[in-house]
Structure 1
Amino acid sequence: MTDRPGFSTRAIHAGSTPDPTTGAVIPPIVASSTFAQDGVGGLRNGYEYSRSANPTRTALEECLTALEGGSRGFAFASGLAAEDTLIRSIAKPGAHLVLPHDAYGGSFRLFSRAYAPWGLLTDPVDLTDLAAVEAAIRPGETVAVWVETPTNPLMSVADISAIAEIAHALGALVIVDNTFASPYLQQPLALGADVVMHSTTKYCGGHSDVVGGALVTADETLAEKVQFHQNALGAVAGPFDAWLVLRGLKTLAVRMERHSDNAEKVAAYLTEHPGVSEVYYPGLESHAQHDVAKRQMRRFGGMVSFRVRAGEQAAVDACGRTTVFTLAESLGGVESLIEHPGRMTHASVAGTALEVPSDLIRLSVGLEDAEDLIADLDQALC
């Protein structure tokens, strides 16, 4: 075994040592809410109550930490629960945060409607414009730059290393939502980020059968703050949910390779379709940040967005005509999904600076045969 095993080896073995009692090679689902103590305060391996720690959740957190190359990992009930815990760990009323100008609608809703009354100040910025990022940071006030790359749904790619250099010089943390790329395709901590966030519902789980979130920190001091707030706020991953995500991580590498294979073929097909006016996929040389993506990503992932030349209603109609692509929100599962962001996942940002084009369609390209996916889109875009 090398000093640092490869990604797939870590994904399969980190946090998954055979059970010492039975020899089970897969960690068991420990459904207990409480744990017997060997005398008052005599905790067995640190477990007392499952909100504070649970062996199944620990296995997942150890695996996520190994995959992201971090100091410590934390598993939550959802991606938004992870975001909420992190913000409360680093910010207080009056603090300032720099956001992507095309952030995920759920994150924007959290910041603009839940935290604005609390006193958190935010500025949406085009993170591909490094001068704008630097200008938006308020030294002494800005606690973090929130980076989403690739973004949802416009697939913008931010230069993590460059943003980290700027933010750290001005006293701000860098938080990267790595959901679209997954730990397999992108390693934000190695590029200078301080925290990685995931909706583990997506590629980490990979089978559309669990809702979860995660944080991995680079710094132990920050990890201690997150641990306190996770326990105090309580939005932790349950043992069965943690087990499902841990199971998904074991096949993450092979799944992301197939997602990327299929998405590249779908994106290439869409660029040639007369009914499509624009395709957003970092793997295309025409993508504005293709060189950045090529430098910081292993491959380009399974998410593709595109605009329909005939307008909004034609885009809505196309979403309703697919038979292999399922019309549904979310992403990252083995099955392919199609959605209209303006009326579905990003309806909450309508009328704001983050509003998405009304003729936009977002695809989560799954693991089916690429030829079937292309044929399905071909008949839907007729």
Structure 2
Amino acid sequence: MFLKNIISKYNLTQILLLVTALLIPLEKTSMRIILGIITLVVLITGKYTAFSNKKSWIKLSLTLLWIIPFIQLIILIILNGSWENWEEPLIIKLSLLLFPIFIFLGFELKKDFIYELIRVFLIGCCISVSICLLYALYNFLDTNNTTHFFYRELSYFHHPSYFSMYLNFAIGILYLNIISPYYQFEKKWSWTLIIAFTLFIVLASSRTGWISNFLINSTFIIILIKKQFFTKKHLLIGFAIIALLVTIVNVSPSLKIRFDEMINNTVYANQQSNSTSSTSTRKKAWESSTVLIKQNWLFGLGTGLGKNELNKIYDLKGYDSLKEDNTNTHNQYLQYLLDHGIIGLSFLVFFTIIMLFISFNDKYYLYTLFLIIMIINFMTESILETQSGIVFFAFFNTLFFYNWIDKKHKVI
């Protein structure tokens, strides 16, 4: 019945986008196939009259996040006569071009469809978490090793940092659903999923995920208390959950090591030139990136070339493990500044930081929530350098930016 309603209600492009929303938390390798199919469908069925609307061109400004690196690439090819090392990063970032065009030409983006996409995304998160836990349980029963319930061994489909990012966004959506039930999830299910996703994030051991989760939970709990959504029973349950989380961290050697490592390496990273912890790795990557940015701040080094130059800096500084792993900047803003200079960075800042303030001022709270999560993760990961990050950002950022422009279809 559910599938029948979907097929009768939406066109083919919309159905494929619903499939995309479902698969984002589940399966990244199939995304290129889905994008290829959507491209063919939009080329054949696209509403090209949309180009005549002046407002539509404002929407397409999103594609500048891909077009600027592409123009830079063409210039570098002309100057250097080589395509080597540039094509793969640009292909990975195709989602920044394709999703804005798909939605622009495919259909009128109405709030009911955005809510449907979000519901499907939440379902995808539920399925993904369930599969990860079942797979971890299967491995535990086979090996009697509890490490299968933590970090990369638990997060089967994506790196824990990226999967935690998805789940934190889902948690924020569920809190908004408790305040205003637009997503057709009962409150008891919203609370159940918030608790389940939070526990999974703790086990996944992504420190950026932990920070985001703490900020989201604490902020929304304060809002709910002010709006008198909480009873004494809810508060007791909340304290019990906090006590459970603290206990899990303290009794689990893996989680305790991750937490202690975060504190120690933040303070002492510079004293350990060959430390391989993720916190010290980031500090060294940021420091090395800054050296190159000072020399190439206006136009950047170009797509794909930054890594080669970073490896040279790592070699000079004795950061052997970073060189061996071909480590990127681990900060999306530094990455854009390194690759595309101040011009490229300005567009990324506009579509994230500036739009954060604008969306909050205009009370587009779902958009605001999404941007807060993206900005936090941009600070510690080069999110737009991987398919797991680029598809998530391009997909939802397009939805919310277009919705912000189309005031009549406003979502919360």
TM-score interval, smaller chain: under 0.3
Bigger CA radius of gyration:
2
Greater share of strand: 1
Structure whose residues are more often helix by fraction: 2
Larger RCO (CA under 8 A, 6+ residues apart): 2
